[in-house]
Amino acid sequence: MNDRPAPPKLPDEHGVPDPMQYMHPIMKNNYGKWDWHDRPRPGVLHHVAKSGDEIWTVKAGTTRMMDVFQVRELCDLADKYCDGFLRFTARSSLEFLCADESKVEPLINDLNAAGYPVGGTGNSVGMVSHTQGWLHCDIPGTDASGVTKSLMDIVHHDFVNEEMPNRVKITTSCCQINCGGQGDIAVNVQYTKPPRINHDLVGKVCERPSVVARCPVAAIRPAMVNGRPSLEVDEKKCICCGACYAPCPPMQINGKEETRIAVWVGGKHSNARSKPTFHKLVVANLPNNPPRWPEVEAVVRTILKTYKEDARDWERMGEWIDRIGWPAFFEKTGFAFTKHHIDTWVGARNSMNHSAHIRF
């Protein structure tokens, strides 16, 4: 009786930690009182407070998934040049905060020597915002870290320079739920076949009514298969979205050949100039081809190259296409325009051209 272990102690429900205890003193002292900023060189931001205080930010690309040795290596640099203060951006870039301009160049040299690119500021291609993939997700169609590494290798030059018409945000998602979010370019899994159902397991591991309820097109219904309660899919209705797979793993949506990749363009989260937009389909059915996804790389390269050459200053990807029109986009990039580019989902008619406005 007495050797029953004591229950663990209840957690201290701290909630969100107060950032002030970890914030660079210059940022803390000038909190809410900044005046202007400029960019002395790509990868460096220089902010000036109303008090006259200044701070230099050196932005470095990371792998997002970091080992503790890497974390400590980066901490050593922050101790040496930044009085021990740094922060992360929403896209997993690391910002080193320097109180003194003279620290900037030696820090950049040390970062580059250790293999970290410095960039991602101004009109550059930022870090790919991505998901977990095969490393940790329970429903992934592809990897995320590997796709990201492959893409960042090909855009490295445009991460460390500011040569694009406007900033470019690339995202990648390893299933159609699209956890990676909207992007100027989005590289997302696109399933191509209805789920393959293991009828021996459905009745045992799936809560069938909730699986039926998850389907966006009501294509799933309860059925008895081989004398066992299971589910069946109307394959003519099925849009291959994979929504049933998460609540019911025996409805396998992934397959070596069936899981494909689609590339989308023109998503934008900022309100600058035009309103925020969702990304639009460019190419589907690319093979899921690790470890480098060369077919995806080729499509992304083409889109970036065409945008870089053709867009005017400050046009985001979607704004550039709005100016030149979709016919010119498909013509200049050389991608095929198919019936699958015409929307079929709710509100589809809003995406049609209700006018005689035509570009020739």
Partner 1 sequence: MSDQMKIHPTPKLDELEKGPWPSFVTGLKRLRDSGKAYGPMMNDLLGQLEHSYEERLGFWKGGTVSVFGYGGGIIPRFSEVAEAYPESKEFHTLRVQPPAGMHYTTDILRKMSDIWEEHGSGLIGFHGQSGDIMFEGCTTEEVQPAFDKLNALGFDLGGAGPALRTSMSCVGHARCEMSCYDEARALRMIINEYLDEMHRPALPYKFKFKFSGCGNDCVNAIHRADFAVIGTWRDDIKINQDEVKAYIGEVGRKYFIDSVVTRCPSQAISLNDDDTIEIDNKSCVRCMHCLNVMPKALSPGDDKGASILLGGKRSLKIGDLMGTLIVPFMKLESDEDFDNLVEFAGEVIDFFADNALEHERTGECIDRVGMPAFLEALGIDPNPNMITHPRTSSYVRTDDFDEEAAKYYAKHGKSEAAE
Residue among 75 and 225 whose Cβ is closer to partner 1? 75
| Half-sphere exposure in the Cβ direction for 258 (13 Å, CA) | 14
Residue among 126 and 283 whose Cβ is closer to partner 1? 126
- In the complex, the smallest distance separating the C-beta of residue 241 from partner 1, rounded to whole angstroms, is 7
| C-beta of residue 105 within 8 angstroms of C-beta of residue 111 | no
Distance of CA 228 to the CA centre of its chain: 41
CB-based contacts of 40, cutoff 8 Å, min separation 6: 46, 56, 104
Q: How far apart are CA 111 and CA 174, in angstroms?
A: 30
- In the complex, the smallest distance separating the C-beta of residue 51 from partner 1, rounded to whole angstroms, is 13
Residue among 25 and 327 whose Cβ is closer to partner 1? 25
Task: Write the burial class of residue 80 (CB in 10 Å: 0-12 exposed, 13-18 middle, 19+ buried).
Answer: middle
Residue among 63 and 302 whose Cβ is closer to partner 1? 63
CA distances (Å), 205 to each of 151, 197, 211, in order? 38, 12, 11
- In the complex, the smallest distance separating the C-beta of residue 334 from partner 1, rounded to whole angstroms, is 26
- In the complex, the smallest distance separating the C-beta of residue 267 from partner 1, rounded to whole angstroms, is 8
Tokens 């922060």 correspond to what residue?
87
Residue among 94 and 283 whose Cβ is closer to partner 1? 94
Task: Write the burial class of residue 344 (CB in 10 Å: 0-12 exposed, 13-18 middle, 19+ buried).
Answer: exposed
- In the complex, the smallest distance separating the C-beta of residue 244 from partner 1, rounded to whole angstroms, is 11
